[in-house]
Amino acid sequence: MSLETGISPHGGQLVDLMVKGGGGSEPAVSVALGERQQCDFEMMAIGAFSPLTGFMGEADYQSVCEKMQLADGTVWPMPITCPVDEVTSNTVKVGDRVGLTDDRERLLGYLEVTEIYKQDKAKQARLAYGTEDVAHPGVKALMDDGDFCLAGTVQAVTLRHEPMLPEHRLTPTQTRAEFQRRGWKTVVAFQTRNPIHRAHEYITKCAQELVDGLLIHPLMGATKDGDIAPEVRMECYLKLIDGYYNADTTMLAIMPAAMRYAGPREALLHAILRQNYGCSHIIIGRDHAGVGKYYGTYDAQNIFDGLPEGGLKIKPMKFEHAAWSKQAGGMVSRKTFPAIEGDQIFLSGTKVRELLVRGERPPIEFTRPEIADILIRSMKDA
């Protein structure tokens, strides 16, 4: 595997949408962003969504849905929009400077409105998510949004009021500076929205052997009901890294993006974001960013094979599903050890939750006991 010695942001440079001095006079109209759009706003403002400078207009929206490209041909797999209801769409006019607030009406920034258009939700669901089934959490969030979109350039006054885990909330500029300080030229990112179990630990360490550093980069934005609370996950990450990783070659930071559960297309999005954070590689494992049975086991890996030459600078590291083999006495995958009936330890998420709720640790071959203890305590406290 050839390893690169540096990586540029997607589109060539990092976007910075922060403004100084409060951004000017109060706008006549304000729009409250939903939780997912607040995440998108923050990701745009810090440059993690580079080259985007605002919420997409209709030409970009249609091109992204149909071709996984912005209108100018830049690879981009998921629409990033500012949905509003019909009343708001009739109140706001093209040319307005709209205030963007959080759900408690606190100002985040401004949107210079250049377009107002109706989104094609059925088309977006079918193409971006691969299904129109509202049981899919990403599709349900889309269908629950307003039918119209405001497009235009964003100016950010503040990223978040009362941000969660601020000490780990590093921007792309900050991660790049830290990689440089550590002397890391090649960095592999690990995307996760769950605690890290033994299979994850195994593939991150396999990847770590090939690069200068590992960025454990959990997604800490909006997720679906039933996902483990961010504070609990962070406690698990810190405990695991402290006990089982080399601090000189491992780094932890959070990514405040919303989870879309879009499988292959979201895997591409996750790669673009990590390129903007300065990573040269990203781990793409089994059913990356998937949910339920909507996507094939390795669809998220295969989508990278169809990209145009030079479409992304970051490279995927593709891993098979790994599990503990009793006969081998360690972690194995389909590539490294033959399948033997009853040999490997597989546990479904449902089975793991049942054990934890009863206060029972899953097997040590599945998860580190310290991590299981944190999860058991969190479920008792819930």
Q: Which residues are catalytic?
A: 193-194
- The structure tokens 């996760």 sit at 192
Question: What's the token pair of residue 141?
Answer: 């969030």
- The structure tokens 């052997």 sit at 209
| Burial status of residue 103 (CB atoms within 10 A of its CB: 0-12, 13-18, 19 or more) | exposed
Query: Are 79 and 65 spatial neighbours (Cβ–Cβ below 8 Å)?
Result: yes
Angle between helices 369-381 and 349-357 (to 10 degrees): 70
Q: What gap in Å lies between CA 187 and CA 274, rounded to an integer? A: 10
Kindly report the backbone phi and psi dihedral angles of residue 279, in degrees, each rounded to the nearest multiple of 5, phi listed first.
-85, 145
Question: What's the token pair of residue 82?
Answer: 């500012």
Output b/e per residue, 13-45; b: 16+ Cβ within 10 A. ebbebeeeeebeeebeeebbbbebbbbbbbbbb
Name residues whose C-beta falls within 8 Å of residue 77's C-beta, 6 or more positions apart in sequence: 64, 68, 128, 262, 265, 266, 268, 269, 272
Q: What gap in Å lies between CA 152 and CA 139, rounded to an integer? A: 24
Name residues whose C-beta falls within 8 Å of residue 160's C-beta, 6 or more positions apart in sequence: 38, 42, 102, 108, 256
Specify the 3-state DSSP secondary structure of 382: coil
User: Which residue, 188, 190, 251, 257, is CA-closest to 219?
Assistant: 257
- The structure tokens 């050890």 sit at 337
Q: Tell me how long the chain is.
A: 382
**DSSP code per residue over 70-134:** -TTS-B--S---EEE-HHHHHH--TT-EEEEE-TTS-EEEEEEEEEEEE--HHHHIIIIIS---T
Q: What gap in Å lies between CA 356 and CA 380, rounded to an integer? A: 9
